[in-house]
């Protein structure tokens, strides 16, 4: 009954009142302890030394290398029972494509999940992740990654859902809702404008104006907080317009909290406060960095106490640091803990492994892999292969017998991941001879190894080359490349950026040498980014983009090669023809691809590029199937503005142009129903992603050529058809106006679905 008399101990009271009551009882030392996160606190847990290091508790901890339910529970028990106020800590982890923990399920990397265009799949994956994390007692995860990837040289391209803000917002919001239903708080990152760093180099400055920030980069974060209810946020390392995000009050307070309405807590990216001193040079010491970050809106520092350290605490005790700002930060952290129910139950399950990697989780990982794989080329229907006709396969390449799962993956996951080599051997090895030759490593290789691979191809009916990136990095991997016998270069992931989009090392040489044998070649790209594969597109008959397909990737690829299932992914990011082709995202401004439109070649120079075209090699949304689909009957069925039905073709183009400066106020109900019919006119079952794009034909701010505003994945048997209905609202027609506010102007809009288009007038 004693606890019930204290508001913060009473679960019947609101989280807000409990946080306020607890805050009123805290000393300065206890408050600042809540503003700190330390990595691997459980390694310090050995009796007296633990109490010496954390006598006032700690806000949170992070450990993906040695997650152990027993030690997590001991830590929480200490916090609840041995510290003065009994405040539990926030155990934090990673889960951009699966819980980073021994024994957890590994799904395709995020860029592959973007290629699925499947909201329901993302929901099911996040549901699985939430179950596994909650069982282990991890209550905050640094996911989803909502950066908009617009420079594939950037190694972290693999961690995002692609180049489009609408797709990212829909998948990200679905992820957050499913995850948080299990009592695990989502911490979207990296707020904001992190995905287009200068030169593609991680943490480099981002060059964007406020309009681009609001119209592109902020969109998925707004949805994450307003629709998804994400409870935390992690700011980006980078700077925007000369101000590091961790020191930007405009971004972290004015925009995030006062405008968007986010009421959760923010945690720094790792070491970011110290970087205000050492990298950004906007603070002369740790104290100044901490004060700038606190004023901007950073609530918790990770993974050390540089900014919120002893100097900060001393300055606060002397009144140099505003105590009201400290109280605000601590209140937000406590509120999250109360909302998650940690004061009642902060513990891991007694046997969390029972909740991990269930049979249905492996099935889901296989489904996700199949949906993420994109067929880029299939000349003369080389795929699927006919097992009855194929007697031998040359399996070649550095990824053929080594799994690529993507960064933020537990080391132990590689032991259970199914490689392409293993899956082929298990599924067809009894009937088909597999001639394996690695050919080269990711960054090196010898002439002898390449020749050996070519010989294997020459003596086989078909050659399958698994080329691409290495994102297998667990720290301590070493540098350089010792070929197929030792250390291999890491070419993708956080901190592994590239200056070229040619295939790394000698992989292009290997590809061309195998091609020269005359054996039909199937190229499988297992990468975390799109590469400039112009030569392959011109010469190789079949090309598959597999991304990092997760623990079931080998099984999914084998089944696709032999037609047991179909490739159904669509590109979430455009493929450039070369590095000079960057940027090449699809939703560019109307003036961005040249005025003359006279595309040049080496043989026939032209304008705007004299010897090239600015168009991508493969555009966002592209992807082939084993069957054929036909689109028909694109119809604008009805338009309502407010309570009034608007005639579909009610005014002339000249009237529409005059009306284009007339604003339709925010809050006005706009409902436009648009339908299209999809039919499978091929010979086998297949899936397609129906995508609806909007183009504003006349706008007071230069418009985008088109923008995705709806998508639906549809699976049909041969001869079957489906009418797909889209309902568009006010936001779908909006843009950022001259006052940096989201607006809709009356006028004409073009609607495009596949090869069909029509116009409508608001």
**Over the chain, what is the mean pLDDT?**
93
Cα→Cα distances 143→200, 467, 643, Å: 22, 28, 40
Q: Which residue matches tokens 């084993």?
A: 626
Q: Say whether 427 sits in a helix, a strand or coil.
A: helix
Instruction: Give me the pLDDT at residue 199, please.
Output: 95
Which architecture, in CATH terms, is 369-572?
A: 3-Layer(aba) Sandwich (3.40)
Q: Residue 478: is its pLDDT beyond 70?
A: no
The share of the chain scoring above pLDDT 70, in percent, equals: 94
pLDDT at 485: 58
Residues 161-170 have pLDDT tens digits of 999 999 999 9
Question: CA-to-CA distance for 421 and 409, rounded, in angstroms?
Answer: 21
Q: What is the mean pLDDT of residues 350-379?
A: 96
* Residue with more model confidence, 431 or 2: 431
C-alpha torsion sign, points 369, 374, 377, 379: positive
| CATH 3.40.640.10 holds for 35-353 | no
Q: Rounded to 10 degrees, what is the CA torsion of 404, 407, 409, 415? A: 20
Taking residues 296-310, report their average pLDDT.
96
Q: How far is CA 291 from CA 47, 54, 192, 306, 332, in A?
A: 34, 23, 21, 11, 17
Q: How far apart are CA 403 and CA 416, in angstroms?
A: 9
* Domain residue ranges in the chain: 35-353, 369-572, 629-761
* CA atoms of 501 and 291, how far apart (whole Å): 41
Rounded CA separation 392/481 (Å)? 31
Answer yes or no: is pLDDT of 530 > 90. yes
- The rounded distance, in Å, linking the Cα atoms of 666 and 661 is 15
| Angle subtended by helix axes 553-561 and 359-372, to nearest 10 | 50
Q: For residue 292, what are the contacts with CB-CB under 8 A and spacing of at least 6? A: 246, 247, 276, 282, 283
Number of residues in the chain: 762
Read off the pTM.
0.96
Q: Which of 32-41, 469-478, 623-632, 683-692 has the lowest mean pLDDT?
A: 469-478
Kindly give, in sequence order, each residue whose CB lies less than 8 Å from that of residue 739, ignoring residues fewer than 6 positions away.
none
Vertex 131, ends 127 and 132: CA angle to 5°? 120
Q: What is the pLDDT of residue 5?
A: 56
Place of tokens 């293993």: 422
Two domains, one topology: 35-353 and 369-572: no
- CA–CA distances in Å: residue 366 to residues 53, 363, 379, 552: 45, 5, 26, 5
CATH superfamily ID and name for 629-761:
Immunoglobulins (2.60.40.10)
Q: Give backbone dihedrals phi and psi of 50, rounded to 5 degrees, phi first.
A: -70, -45
């Amino acid at each position: 009954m004693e606890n019930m008399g204290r508001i913060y101990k009473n679960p019947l009271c609101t989280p807000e009142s409990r946080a306020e009551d607890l805050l009123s009882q805290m000393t300065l030392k206890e408050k600042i302890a809540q503003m700190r996160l330390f990595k691997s606190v459980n390694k310090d847990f050995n009796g007296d030394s633990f109490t010496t290091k954390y006598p006032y508790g700690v806000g949170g901890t992070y450990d993906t290398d040695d997650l152990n339910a027993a030690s997590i529970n001991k830590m929480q028990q200490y916090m609840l029972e041995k510290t003065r106020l009994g405040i539990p800590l926030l155990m934090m982890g990673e889960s951009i494509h699966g819980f980073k923990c021994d024994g957890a399920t590994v799904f395709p990397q995020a860029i592959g999940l973007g290629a699925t265009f499947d909201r329901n799949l993302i929901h099911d994956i996040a549901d699985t992740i939430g179950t596994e994390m909650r069982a282990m007692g991890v209550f905050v995860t640094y996911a989803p990654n909502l950066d908009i990837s617009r420079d594939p040289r950037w190694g972290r391209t693999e961690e995002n859902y692609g180049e489009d803000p609408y797709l990212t917002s829909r998948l990200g919001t679905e992820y957050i809702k499913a995850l948080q239903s299990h009592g695990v708080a989502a911490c979207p990152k990296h707020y904001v404008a992190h995905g287009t760093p200068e030169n593609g180099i991680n943490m480099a400055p981002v060059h964007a104006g406020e309009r681009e920030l609001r119209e592109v980069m902020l969109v998925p974060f707004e949805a994450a907080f307003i629709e998804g209810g994400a409870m935390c946020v992690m700011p980006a390392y980078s700077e925007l317009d000369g101000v590091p995000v961790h020191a930007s009050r405009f971004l972290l307070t004015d925009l995030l909290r006062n405008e968007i309405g986010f009421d959760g807590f923010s945690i720094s990216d790792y070491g970011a406060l110290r970087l205000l001193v050492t990298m950004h040079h906007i603070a002369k010491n740790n104290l100044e960095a901490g004060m700038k970050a606190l004023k901007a809106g950073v609530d918790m520092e990770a993974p050390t106490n540089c900014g919120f350290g002893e100097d900060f605490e001393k300055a606060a005790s002397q009144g140099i640091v505003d105590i009201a700002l400290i109280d605000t930060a601590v209140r937000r952290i406590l509120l999250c803990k109360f909302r998650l129910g940690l004061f009642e139950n902060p513990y891991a399950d007694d046997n969390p492994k029972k909740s991990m990697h269930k049979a249905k989780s492996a099935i889901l990982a296989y489904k996700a892999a199949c949906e993420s794989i994109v067929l880029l080329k299939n000349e003369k229907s080389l795929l699927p292969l006919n097992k009855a006709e194929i007697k031998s396969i040359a399996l070649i390449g550095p990824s053929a017998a080594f799994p690529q799962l993507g960064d933020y993956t537990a080391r132990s996951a590689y032991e259970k991941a199914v490689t392409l080599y293993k899956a082929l051997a298990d599924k067809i090895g009894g009937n088909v001879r597999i001639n394996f030759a690695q050919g080269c490593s990711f960054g090196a290789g010898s002439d002898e190894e390449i020749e050996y691979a070519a010989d294997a191809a020459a003596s086989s009916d078909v050659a399958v080359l698994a080329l691409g990136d290495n994102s297998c990095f667990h720290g301590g991997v070493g540098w350089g490349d010792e070929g197929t016998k030792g250390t291999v270069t890491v070419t993708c992931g956080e901190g592994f950026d590239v200056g070229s989009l040619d295939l790394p090392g000698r992989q292009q040489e290997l590809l061309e040498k195998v091609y020269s044998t005359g054996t039909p070649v199937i190229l499988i790209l297992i990468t975390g980014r799109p590469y400039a594969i112009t030569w392959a597109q011109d010469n190789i008959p079949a090309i598959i983009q597999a991304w990092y397909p997760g623990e079931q990737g080998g099984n999914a690829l084998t089944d696709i090669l032999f037609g047991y299932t179909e490739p159904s992914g669509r590109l979430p990011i455009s493929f450039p023809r070369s590095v000079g082709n960057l940027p090449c995202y699809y939703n560019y401004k109307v003036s961005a691809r040249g005025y003359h439109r006279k595309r040049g070649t080496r043989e026939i120079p032209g304008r705007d590029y004299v010897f090239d075209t600015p168009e991508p090699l493969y555009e966002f949304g592209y992807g082939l199937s084993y069957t054929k689909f036909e689109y028909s009957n694109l119809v604008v069925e009805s338009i309502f503005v407010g309570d009034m039905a608007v005639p579909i073709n009610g005014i002339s183009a000249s009237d529409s142009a005059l009306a284009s400066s007339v604003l339709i106020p925010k809050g006005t109900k706009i409902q436009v129903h648009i339908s299209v019919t999809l039919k499978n006119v091929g010979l086998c079952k297949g899936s397609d992603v129906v995508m609806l794009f909007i183009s504003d034909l006349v706008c007071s701010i230069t418009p985008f050529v088109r923008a995705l505003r709806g998508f639906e994945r549809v699976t049909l048997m041969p001869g079957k058809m489906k009418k797909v209905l889209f309902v568009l609202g006010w936001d779908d027609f909006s843009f950022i106006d001259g006052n940096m506010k989201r607006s809709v102007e009356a006028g004409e809009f073009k609607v495009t679905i596949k090869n069909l288009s029509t116009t409508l007038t608001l």
